[in-house]
Amino acid sequence: MGDDIPAEAPRQVVVVGASMAGLFAAAAAAGTSNSVLVLERDFLPGTPKPRAGVPQSEQPHVFLFRGLLALEDLLPGSGQEFLDRGAVPFDTGDLPWLTQHGWLPVGRRAFEVLSMTRPLFEHTVRRRVEGLPGVQIREGCRVTSLRRCNRRWEVSVAEGPPVLADLVIDASGRSSRLPIWLANAGMSAAPVAEVDTNLGYATRMYAAVPSQMTAVGVVIQQTPATLVGGMALQVEDDRWLVTAVGCGEHRPPRDATGFESFLERLPDPALAQLIRHAEPVSEVAVHRQTGNRRHHYEQVPAWPDGLLVVGDALCAFNPIYGQGITVAACEAVLLRQVLAAALAPGYTRRLLRKFAAVVSLPWAIATSEDLRYPTSKGHQALPQALFGQWARHLARLAVHGNSRAHAVLSRVYHLMGSPAQFFHPALVAAALQVRLTGYGPPAPRPASLAALTPPTPRPHPPAD
Ligand SMILES: Cc1cc2nc3c(=O)[nH]c(=O)nc-3n(C[C@H](O)[C@H](O)[C@H](O)COP(=O)(O)OP(=O)(O)OC[C@H]3O[C@@H](n4cnc5c(N)ncnc54)[C@H](O)[C@@H]3O)c2cc1C
């Protein structure tokens, strides 16, 4: 290990895992390498269906605007293809969203995104990628180990002879065995950072949601105070995914009755009302592996050439922020740029540093919020805590009608802008002003929820 491969494009690329990060990496490598072989342990369904190797398949997946742009760059025309297959387009400025301070105002243009199930997303991307020149997906093929073999890599699989590669890309997700394979090769371990709120998801699919529901979804954001939340999103074929989330002891249950009563207890009745009028078409699916985990492979000394890590295998995020797929797509865009240029020794190490830079902002967004939860271990540094406090102050301004605060938060959330925008002089001035005048009235509950969900009057807190 540690020796360099020649400064030329890798002839044979092997990608471990044919989920989103593996497919994006294969798309990036196609055209710059002679052949790209994707090894996937699952047998892949011929239609959009959940599968064992991606246990989160039944949970809702949102796609940040930055991710849709990166995907369009990697696979031009994919946005239209999703629409042709039934994805639901919507403007994020129209999505009813209850924060800890109240409802965000709706009706201001923000980002045009798409809503669909995770299986439809993956299936559509896989169809495109397997049609690219030089790409082959070998299914039912589990990678068991990795070893340096002269200047190449020998990838052992459970079901056949080993495969030789000039470049191996690990995209095998949260359960990646790379740390073990590297240890077996005598390499030092990469530092690992973890922050886990012990968040649980429970999701059920519904049909026949009443047409009075004019929004394409609704989000009841969970907070460190409530520890519970939920969301509903319209997806292809007139179906809706309705999800309950909760942390620690408040994780939602798997049984249908428990799921329904969990939704009844949320701070707004929208989700409970929505399912009361709709028809369930699946069981409740739960998922509880949601911690943030980041492997700092860029810090491993003498990192060998011809080995990369992408997607959740490199950094898995608390999924509530919807970042994983976007980060994997951004990594693939970088990979393509590097493979298209003449490769110099040390290129994989440099690329890992670039991936680390891509990961840093979403990691900071997710962990600075998650470290506020009583269910998380660890504490944040003072600058991070102050930054988070300022971001929450902006969210409060947004709820009370400050459109600049709303737009800036939305840009950073969709990874379309730098958090430096949080300190725009107009926002600092607005913050000073509310100290003198107080906040104006908060935004009302969105009218798009009114027909379906008349708000239940909440009891007033007892006077002191
Ligand atoms: C509940 C939940 C909700 C989520 N919601 C969102 C969301 O809203 N938006 C978003 O962007 N992201 C979301 N994510 C994250 C998203 O699912 C992942 O970031 C995304 O799937 C990219 O992961 P990946 O391709 O790196 O790994 P995975 O999707 O985990 O795939 C790994 C692949 O590698 C294969 N594999 C594993 N080991 C081997 C082996 N030894 N040999 C061969 N193949 C192997 C597996 O079978 C699988 O196909 C969510 C995740 C969870 C858990």
- Cβ neighbours of residue 158 under 8 Å, at least 6 residues apart? 141, 142, 143, 144
145 shares its domain with 215: no
Distance 17 CA to ligand 1 centre (A): 9
- Residue 83: how many other CB atoms lie within 10 Å: 14
Distance 20 CA to ligand 1 centre (A): 7
> Is the separation of the CB atoms in 314 and 354 below 8 Å?
no
363 shares its domain with 315: yes
Distance 445 CA to ligand 1 centre (A): 35
User: Whose Cα sits closest to atom 53 in ligand 1?
Assistant: 56
Residue 463 is predicted with a pLDDT of: 33
Residue 288 is predicted with a pLDDT of: 96
46 shares its domain with 122: yes
Distance 325 CA to ligand 1 centre (A): 8
Residue 462 is predicted with a pLDDT of: 38
Do you know the residue count of the chain? 464
Secondary structure element (H or E) that encloses residue 142, with its range: none
Query: What string of DSSP letters covers 212-263?
Result: T--SSEEEE---TTT-EEEEEEEEGGGEEEEEEEEEGGGPPPSSHHHHHHHH
Give how far the C-alpha of residue 224 lies from the chain's centroid of Cα atoms, to the nearest Å. Answer: 20
- Cβ neighbours of residue 219 under 8 Å, at least 6 residues apart? 95, 96, 97, 98, 229, 230, 231
CATH of the domain at 245: 3.30.70.2450
Whether 442 is covered by a domain: the verdict is no
Tell me the three state secondary structure of residue 337: helix
Q: Which residues of the chain have pLDDT under 70?
A: 1-9, 451-464
Amino acid at 313: A
- Residue 130: how many other CB atoms lie within 10 Å: 15
Whether 186 is covered by a domain: the verdict is yes
Strand partners, 143: 157
**Domain boundary residue, one of 289, 304, 335:** 289
| Tokens read off for 357 | 């830079």
**Domain boundary residue, one of 289, 315, 340:** 289
> Is the separation of the CB atoms in 323 and 362 below 8 Å?
yes
19 shares its domain with 127: yes
- Cβ neighbours of residue 111 under 8 Å, at least 6 residues apart? 65, 91, 92, 93, 410, 414, 416
338 shares its domain with 400: no
127 shares its domain with 164: yes
**Domain boundary residue, one of 265, 289, 313:** 289
180 shares its domain with 139: yes
Q: Torsions phi, psi of 416, nearest 5?
A: -105, 0
Tell me the three state secondary structure of residue 269: coil
Whether 444 is covered by a domain: the verdict is no
Whether 53 is covered by a domain: the verdict is yes
187 shares its domain with 208: no
Tell me the three state secondary structure of residue 358: helix
Q: Which domain holds residue 418?
A: 382-437
Residue 225 is predicted with a pLDDT of: 92
Counting atoms of ligand 1 from 1, which one is nearest the CA of 157?
42
Measuring CA to CA, which residue among 51, 50, 61, 48 is closest to residue 114? 61
Distance 54 CA to ligand 1 centre (A): 6
Indicate the top mutation candidate among 312, 331, 355, 359 to test ligand 1's pocket, ranked by most ligand atoms within 8 A of CB: 312
302 shares its domain with 390: no
Distance 463 CA to ligand 1 centre (A): 49
Residue 95, CB-side half-sphere exposure with 13 Å CA sphere = 26
Domain tally, the chain: 3
Indicate the top mutation candidate among 38, 40, 330 to test ligand 1's pocket, ranked by most ligand atoms within 8 A of CB: 40
Whether 372 is covered by a domain: the verdict is no
Whether 352 is covered by a domain: the verdict is yes
CATH of the domain at 350: 3.50.50.60
Tell me the three state secondary structure of residue 157: strand
137 shares its domain with 235: no
> Is the separation of the CB atoms in 296 and 190 below 8 Å?
yes
Whether 405 is covered by a domain: the verdict is yes
Residues with CB under 6 Å of ligand 1 are 16-22, 39-42, 53-54, 56, 59, 61-62, 142-143, 171-175, 201, 287, 289-290, 311-313, 319, 322-326, 328
Cα of first residue to Cα of last residue in the chain, in angstroms, is: 69
- Residue 227: how many other CB atoms lie within 10 Å: 20
307 shares its domain with 181: yes
> Is the separation of the CB atoms in 362 and 321 below 8 Å?
yes
User: Whose Cα sits closest to atom 3 in ligand 1?
Assistant: 319
Residue 379 is predicted with a pLDDT of: 86
Helix/strand/coil (H/E/C) assignment for every residue in 150-214: CCEEEEEECCCCCEEECEEEECCHHHCCHHHHHHHCCCCCCCEEEECCCEEEEEEEEECCCCCCC
**242 vs 265: CA distance, rounded Å:** 15
272 shares its domain with 184: no
Q: What is the pTM of this model?
A: 0.94
Whether 455 is covered by a domain: the verdict is no
